[in-house]
Structure formats: structure tokens, C-alpha cells
Amino acid sequence: MKCNRIVLWSLLLSLGTLISVSSAQQPPSATPASIEAVQVIGLTGVKQNSKGNLKVENGSLTFAFSKSTCEVPAASIQDVVTGTDSQRVIGGTVGTLSRLAPYGGGTALSLLRSKVDIITIQYRDPNGGLHGAIFTMPVGKAEFIKEALLAQGAHTSIRSQAKSNSNSPLQSEAMEQTK
Amino acid sequence: MKTIKRAAVLLTLVTGLSAAPLLPAQPPPVVKPPAAAIEVEMIQPGEISLPAEFQVALYENLVQELQKKVGFSEVYRDGDRNASDASDLVTLHTTVIGFKQGSELKRDVTTVGGATSITIRCQFTDKEGKVLLERDITGKVRLTGDNLRATDDFAKKAASVAQETFSSDSTSSDSKKSGYKNVT
């Protein structure tokens, strides 16, 4: 009797472990509530290089910035492409001024770089006019946005490589670039 | 006395004739093709492998520069249905014919290497498809800034070419005052 209980408990424990491991291995499918992003260019009424928050909800891509928002219906997006790049950690005016630092200090500062994800969209306005927009965001976030947009009716010329386990994100981006 | 008068007349004539070629020659008036509106088509990568962000940045910068600088009353985007009703419409077709993606890091460190350059064939056509102007324009970033600044450089040059080539008589007074053209 006691032996049966021990077997039962051990079975339950092993099952629980298996379930927790399998759920941990699955890629996160839910889109984060909002992602910090920089709108490089393209959205109507938004200045270049505006910082804000990007999210996909209710069938739209929403960019919220300084108490204002800009929405692009996912259905109007005819192409979503992701990419990667790097940028200076110290940018803007301070970054430019830092180039003048003596004894090669400016050059040393320019070596401090961070990787970023890029997401590029092309969409049509109600008159049929074609628009494009570019966003940069922390590494690993662009695929979430792309997947969420595709799920809500956006189109892409390059299918996501995230589902393929064999390819690393960098490899998939390289493939995207060469297509 | 008669001889002196004749000599004076002759001298005047000779001086006048010899001075004539020294006067600045008046250039013939250049007749610019009229263009009230322009439609910008999406940048075609052609046979060049162009990253999507470059393609979109080139297109958006081009539209913005044309709206800012050039005297077109309307700047239409690719596929805009309102463009078909516009009179004196010029369409700008662009195809990438050269692209070298440099490196911002290399530019920062070496200051001589790592330049990014994009060469684009710009073709301005009228409504019937007749080519009004064709020119290859190169956008570059050599020293400071990220690679996408080459797209801004290209757009400024292309807008200047459009401004020099087409007349802007039909520009509205309001848009002239503001310095910005109607946004479509």
C-alpha cells in the first residue's frame, strides 16, 4: 500500500516536471503589452526619431508618443520586414560632441555600440497612397511585433523564420536580406 | 574737315563692333516643362539587394523633400487615386543601380573608410509616359551619421533636380508663404 503511494507520488512529480519543462521550452506566443521603440521615419504627423511605445491591439499597430498616438490598421499593411543593426550607445548631440574628445577618446566612445532590431512596414492610406515606416527597438522584439501583425491581417513578402528551430535570428535576417 | 568727320564715324563704328562681343551673351530662355503635381513611385531595387529599411527611407525622404522644397502644388504617393485627376502630372520612377552599405563604426574609427553610397536612376515622365528627364543621382554618407543618412542626401539632391527642371507657376500662394506644399 505504502509502495503504491510512493509510486503514485513519484509519477505525479515526474509528470509535473515534464509539463513545466515543455511549457518553458515553448517560445512565448503572447505579444508584450507595449514595446519601447523609436520611429525613425514614415508615420504621418510624427517627427523623425521620436521615442514612444509600439503595440499591436484591436487590429492596429499603435505608436504612442508624448501624449499622442498614431494608428495603422494591420489590414492595410502590405509588407512587414524585420532586420538588425547596431547604433552608438551615446548618440545625438552628445554623441557628436564626444567625437571631439582628446587622445582618441571620441573614437573609443564610438566603439560602444548596442544592437537593435528594425521593423519596416509598408501600408496604404484610404486613398491608396503608399507609406513606409521604420522602427528600431531592443533586440528580440521585432519578431513579436511581426507575428502579431501577421496574426491580425498584415501581409509580408518574407515569411518569419522564427518557427524554424535550426536557424538563429541572425541567420534568418541574413536570409531575408539576400532574398 | 570732311576727312576728320569720316574718321570719327569709322572709329566709332569700329569701337562699337569690337565691343559687342565683349558684352555678356544673353542665354536663351530655358522653357521648363510645366508640372503642377508629382507622383512618387516606390523605389525599385532592380537587381540590387537593397535592405527594406533603405527602400522605405529613400521613398519617405524623397516625398518629404519634394513637399518641402519644390514648387509642386501636390505631391502624390505611389498608388494615390487622386493623382489621376491632376493636371500637368509628372511621375517620378526610381530604380536602384548601385548600392554600397558602409559601416558607421568604420567611419567613426577611420574617418576615411566605411562610406555608404546609393546610386539611383531617376526618370521623370509625363502622363503619356514620355520621358522628360532621366538622371542618375548618388546619395552618400562619408563622415558622421548612420547609414540611412545616405537616403536623406539622395532625396535632397533629387528634389533639387526636380526644382531646377520643372516650372512651378501653379504653386498656391499659401504654400509659398509657409514653405511647405500641400500634403497628400
Q: In the structure, what pLDDT confidence band is assigned to residue B20 with cuts at 50, 70 and 90?
A: low
Domain harbouring A97, CATH code: 2.30.29.30
Nearest residue, CB atoms, B80 vs list A122, A127, A178: A127
Residues comprising chain B, all counted: 184
pLDDT: is B180 or A114 the higher one?
A: A114
Share of chain A above pLDDT 90, in %: 46
How near does any CA of chain B get to the CA of A111, in Å? 7
Flag if A133 and B56 touch (Cβ within 8 Å): yes
Q: For residue A13, is it within any domain?
A: no
Question: Mean pLDDT across the stretch A53-76?
Answer: 93
pLDDT in the model for residue B2? 66
User: In this predicted structure, which of A7-11, A86-90, B47-51, B128-132 has the lowest mean pLDDT?
Assistant: A7-11
Chain A contact for B180, CB < 8 A? no
Taking an 8 Å cut-off on Cβ atoms, the answer to whether A129 and B55 are in contact is no
Mean pLDDT of B27-31: 64
Task: Please check whether residue A67 lies inside any domain of the structure.
Answer: yes
Q: What is the pLDDT of residue A156?
A: 93
| Angle between helix B52-68 and B149-165 (nearest 10) | 40
In a domain, A155, yes or no: yes
Which residue from B51, B81, B144 is facing A127, i.e. has the nearest CB? B81
Coil, strand or helix: which one is A65? strand
End-to-end CA distance of chain B: 79
C-beta of residue B75 within 8 angstroms of C-beta of residue B35: no
What range does the domain containing A137 cover? 34-178
Would you call B81 an interface residue with chain A, using a CB distance cutoff of 8 Å?
yes
- Asked if B49 reaches chain A (Cβ–Cβ under 8 Å), the answer is yes
B170, three cell numbers: 501653379
Indicate the range of A101-110, A134-143, B144-153 predicted with least confidence: A101-110
Q: Which helix (H) or strand (E) holds A13?
A: helix A2-25
Structural domains in chain A (count): 1
Residue B170 · residue B36 · CB < 8 Å = yes
Instruction: Kindly state whether residue A105 falls inside one of the protein's structural domains.
Output: yes
- Mean pLDDT of chain B, nearest integer: 80
Please count the residues of chain A.
179
**CB–CB of A127 and B82 under 8 A?**
yes
Query: Per the confidence metrics, is the pTM higher than 0.80?
Result: no
Categorize the per-residue pLDDT at A60 as very low, low, confident or very high, splitting at 50, 70 and 90.
very high
Domains of chain B (ranges plus CATH)?
Answer: 33-169 (3.40.50.10610)
Asked if B42 has any chain A CB less than 8 Å from its own CB, the reply is yes
pLDDT the model gives residue A35: 93
Bigger pLDDT: B19 or A158? A158
Report CB contact under 8 Å: B77, A130.
Answer: yes
**Edge-to-edge strand ranges of the sheet holding A60-65:** A68-73, A60-65, A50-57, A35-41, A130-138, A113-124, A77-88
Is B1 in a helix, a strand, or coil?
A: coil
Task: Say yes or no for a CB contact (<8 Å) between B53 and A130.
Answer: no
- Is A110 inside a domain boundary? yes
A120 part of a folded domain: yes
Does residue A8 fall inside a structural domain?
A: no
Per-residue pLDDT at B124? 95
Give chain A's contact residues with B (Cβ, < 8 Å).
Answer: 40-42, 79, 81, 83, 85-88, 96, 99, 106-107, 110-111, 113, 118, 120, 122, 124-125, 127-134, 177-178
Task: Please report which confidence band the pLDDT of residue A163 belongs to, taking 50, 70 and 90 as the band edges.
Answer: very low
Q: What mean pLDDT do residues B162-169 have?
A: 79
What is the reported pLDDT for B119? 96
Q: Is B105 in contact with B115 (CB distance < 8 Å)?
A: no
Taking CB atoms and an 8 Å cutoff, what residues of chain B touch A128? 79-81
- Report yes or no on A29 lying in a domain: no
Contacts 24+ apart (CB under 8 A), A152-155: A152/A56, A152/A59, A152/A60, A152/A74, A152/A75, A153/A59, A153/A74, A153/A75, A153/A77, A154/A61, A154/A74, A154/A75, A154/A77, A154/A78, A154/A80, A154/A121, A155/A77, A155/A78, A155/A79, A155/A80
Q: DSSP 3-state assignment of A88?
A: strand
* pLDDT above 60: residue B160: yes
